A and B are shown apart, each in its own frame.
Chain A
């Protein structure tokens, strides 16, 4: 088997567009990819071409799908939509959107009750990675959700839905709870505390930790009893 000869930048430039569009094949493709491993400039060039190709796809005409399409899609996803309290989840995500908007606007994120009437263009263009994980009690009962936003600034948002009658073993009535994050090196970092009303509450905070290193979260009572945990490493 012959070894592939190295491709120069000039040679690469001649095929960069084909590579970016995914239509370069065979030996030429192998040589081009080999070149990319060694050349940052060409890698950036092909990245720009790739994004341009995606932009071009955005010019394609829309089409009205056949009647019943959305129902069939929802049916296909049906086994995943059995949220325990969908209305509540929706409210939580709406609040998360407000939080994101407020943070994006530099408001610190704590005027969660403030009105926002429409998605801000600043949100969709924010450099966002939104991670989420379910909060579970020790009995593996759903207890809410935590969101981590990896942007500038980073923030976390927690929505708690602890049923006082679910038997988590502690008095949940109007209690103060503590949010802690677990990092990949095993540290537990206390982020802050907030108040639950009848087991319900939502809270947001700037995220003090690089979100990539966060592997989990936990909610504790003031006496340290763990009420619920979330894992960002578990499969969805």
Chain B
């Protein structure tokens, strides 16, 4: 018998990574390297540092494979969150602004684009994607600055040139709309 490693479920590859199996570890890295590197590069902007962060994310996944709990989310979401947290740590250590607001429209377009691959693959986030696309521009930017770049409401307010209260309201209202879309997808129920 034998199932090619690249066709095994994500959870099995993660178990193999944690167990130190070379074949399964390689399959795990190959399956997720573009996702992990993409997250790191988006947040950090610098390919060299992004690669370091992506490597760290895989190392952390290996160290914590045993505590992964699928009730909390998919392997993909778990790994993405690991990479994101590491990337946020890097940009918070910088003195410069995490993101130039002028770069946000391109990112939001990429995030709300619906390429064909999502139609045939695992686009569980279709509802959130549509909701993000439908947000007023100010809310979408605020949500992206806070949710992707880890910017506080105060940093959002400064970057956007709006009062702190306005920035907080944009983050709250934007996220509430995304949450509603997420719940409508039925994936928030456990």
Contacts and interface: CB of A to CB of B under 8 A. Distances in A.
A183 interface: no
A63 B32 CA distance: 10
Interface stretch (A35-43, A76-84, A217-225): A76-84
Interface in A1-58: 13-18, 20-25, 48-49, 51-58
Given A51-B73, A51-B182, A80-B62, A119 B10 contact: yes
Contact of A56 (B10, B71, B132): B132
Interface of B is mostly: helix
A205 interface: no
B182 A18 contact: no
Given A16-B172, A93-B16, A124-B75, A56 B62 contact: no
A74 interface: yes
Interface of A: 13-18, 20-25, 48-49, 51-66, 69-70, 72-74, 76-77, 80-83, 86-87, 89-91, 93-98, 100, 113, 115-120, 123-132, 145, 147, 236
The 5 lowest CB-CB distance pairs between A and B, nearest first, are: A17-B175, A63-B38, A119-B9, A62-B34, A65-B37
A57 B69 CA distance: 18
Contact of B55 (A49, A62, A72): A72
Given A62-B35, A81-B21, A125-B74, A91 B2 contact: yes
A96 B11 CA distance: 11
Contacts of B41: 63
Chain B interface residue number, banded = 35 or more
A81 B22 contact: yes
14 contacts: A18-B146, A48-B179, A51-B73, A52-B178, A55-B125, A56-B125, A61-B42, A73-B59, A74-B29, A96-B15, A97-B8, A124-B9, A127-B190, A130-B15
B88 interface: yes
Given A73-B55, A113-B1, A17 B176 contact: yes
Given A16-B172, A89-B24, 20 more contacts: A20-B175, A51-B188, A55-B124, A59-B129, A61-B42, A61-B110, A64-B37, A65-B51, A65-B54, A74-B25, A77-B62, A80-B20, A83-B22, A89-B19, A90-B5, A91-B2, A115-B1, A129-B71, A130-B11, A131-B66
Contacts of A132: 15, 18-19, 66
Given A48-B179, A70-B29, A97 B12 contact: yes
A153 B103 CA distance: 48
B52 to A, nearest CB: 10
Given A23-B153, A61-B110, A93-B12, A116 B175 contact: no
A98 B182 contact: no
Contacts of B105: none
A207 B63 CA distance: 26
Nearest to B179: A52
Interface string B121-153: 000110011001000000000010011101111
A54 B18 contact: no
Given A48-B179, A118-B7, A59 B111 contact: yes
Contacts of B187: 51, 55
A152 B184 CA distance: 25
A70 B168 contact: no
B148 to A, nearest CB: 7
Nearest to B72: A51
Contacts of A119: 7-10, 12
Contact of B77 (A54, A61, A91): A54
B37 A69 contact: yes
B51 A59 contact: no
